[in-house]
Amino acid sequence: MKITRRMLLLVWLVVMLITPAAASANESVPAPDFSAVATSGKSITLSNLRGKIVLLDFWATWCPPCRVEVPFLLDVFKTFKDRDFVMVSISLDRDLEAARRFVKEKGMDWVQVIDREAGDRLSSLYAVDYIPATFIIDRQGRIVAQNLRGAELKEMIAGMLK
């Protein structure tokens, strides 16, 4: 049987559609701890955020699906920013200035890590194979969901903040 490009594309599409749902259904696992410097110049350490719900978001300006998620992320941030909730976005951009401009233009006022070395290190630490990739971390520092999007992401965080 000859494997065609169409067959490979179909297999890839099925894997991409199934992976986020399967990942979010897993039991919680400890989130790998990390420290990084945010664009604000302040250091952020995940373990220091215990007691809060954390949304960890891996993205890049060159990623069309990442750009599609920005309005949803803005909504999540505006809705929950005054509660026990922290958003941390990690850019995987190579053009760091373009990423900084994008963040400023879009009003993405949450914690942003825009640093090549940190992006590479953290995406490896979290085994990020594709972006956008999101991880919801509970108050005890455990990953309780992965790769949720849009309304599903907001509903999960809302439920955890009750």
pLDDT for the residue numbered 13: 42
Domains of the chain (ranges; CATH) run 5-160 (3.40.30.10)
In whole angstroms, how far apart are CA 38 and each of 15, 41, 42? 33, 5, 6
Distance CA(49)–CA(135), nearest Å, equals 14
For residue 12, what pLDDT is reported?
Answer: 40
End-to-end CA distance of the chain: 54
Q: How confident is the model at residue 28 (pLDDT cuts 50, 70, 90)?
A: confident
- Cα dihedral across residues 34, 36, 39, 42: positive or negative: positive
85-132 tens-digit pLDDT: 999 999 999 999 999 999 999 999 999 999 999 999 999 999 999 999
Q: Look up residue 34 and give its DSSP letter.
A: -
pLDDT at 5: 53
**3-state SS assignment for residue 113:** strand
2 confidence band (pLDDT: 50, 70, 90): low
What's the pLDDT tens digit per position in 55-86? Answer: 999 999 999 999 999 999 999 999 999 999 99
Q: Does the predicted TM-score (pTM) go above 0.85?
A: no
Angle at 146 between CA 143 and CA 149, to 5 degrees: 140
